[in-house]
Structure 1
Amino acid sequence: MTDTQIAWIKQLKKGNELAAYNLYNDYSKAMYNTLIRLTNDSEVAKDLLQEAFIKAFQRIHDLDDPKAFGGWLKRIVINRGLEHLRKSKVYFEDIEDQAEVISEEVDDRMIDNQTLHNAIKELPDGCRTVLSLHLLEGFKHKEIALQLNISESTSKTQFRHAKQLLKTKLQHHYEY
């Protein structure tokens, strides 16, 4: 966090709209990327992003330490995304009974970000959501289970299934 951003937060608390505009410009792309990984829908992600920023700016007085703004905002964004997922009833299949053996080996090839991003977008909703929350956002399976109202076991199996699907998609991509 820069001194300028800290100053903007202090100005935002005083009602300065230009400070809100500047903070939005600095943080919106990263927050949008978080939402697109959760929802896999550009329009929904844009709407949720706006809602999250409005909520953050309305509640800016709840933020005690301006240096914590990024993490505080990200929490609001993720919570907004999770609320949306709960309302849209994303289906989380409990696949633990499947006798699939998932290899933990990592392929030696370098995978470009766009290829990986595209492969993640193609995952089933439940797998993509759990993968994004666990791997990219750092949530523990217990937290994911509580947030999504699923069992911890379902979260873990969705994650393993997502990794296997990704591995298969990426191997298939590099065979061509």
Structure 2
Amino acid sequence: MYNTCLRITGSEMDAEDVLQESFLSAFRNLKNYKGTASFGSWLKRIVVNNAINLVKKRRLDLESVDDIGQFDDRVVETESRDISYDVTVVNEGISRLPDGYRVVLTLYLLEGYDHKEIAEVLGITESTSKSQFNRSKKKLREILREELQYAG
């Protein structure tokens, strides 16, 4: 749960605050747990929502692309060579992404949300979610290439 908070908020201090608030919220609302999903799933949903709400409070700027058109869900690879990255380097790269990019990338790739769910949770359109995801992948590749250049 802490790692989920950290990936979404991008800050250790914020992640700790969100996690603590989420557990308090879950405890206060335990009577509302209906058992239709596992307790862990219910708690994780609270954690994710609280983390997203914190990021929104920091003025999450998601660019609307409704008039640009639909994006293809397929991953477009711009490089053919296979580069392997250390998990630590990738996590650091994700943490360097702008809030909007980091949140959408985290929810889609790491938390398993689809673009429709992301749109509902963040109050954006599906096309905006897809756009942010595609842009976040591109930006992450740039960050990782920079890291690779500095390391090499």
Which structure ranks higher in relative contact order (CA pairs < 8 Å, sequence separation ≥ 6)? 2
Count of aligned pairs: 142
5+ long unaligned stretches in structure 1: 1-30
Is this contact kept in 1: 2:119–2:125, CA < 8 A? yes
User: Secondary structure at 1:135's aligned position in 2?
Assistant: helix
List aligned pairs for 1:1-176, cutoff 5 A: 31-65=1-35, 68-94=38-64, 103-104=76-77, 108-175=82-149, 176=152
Distance 1:70 1:151 in 2: 28
CA deviation string 1:52-96 (max 9, x = no partner): 01111223344455x922211111101111222233321112368
Superposed displacement of residue 154, structure 1: 1.0
Normalising by structure 2, what TM-score?
A: 0.82
In the aligned structure 1, how far is the partner of 2:34 from the partner of 2:132? 37
Indicate the residue corresponding to 2:71 in structure 1.
none
Q: Would the aligned equivalents of 2:55 and 2:99 in 1 still touch at CA under 8 Å?
A: no
Cα separation, 2, equivalents of 1:95 and 1:58: 39
SS of the residue 1:155 aligns to: helix
Percentage identity across aligned positions? Answer: 41
User: Which aligned segments of 4 or more residues in structure 1 are displaced greater than 4 angstroms?
Assistant: none
Gaps of 5+ in 2: 69-74
Q: Which has the higher helix share?
A: 1
Q: C-alpha separation between the residues in 1 aligned to 2:136 and 2:56?
A: 19
Normalising by structure 1, report the TM-score.
Answer: 0.71
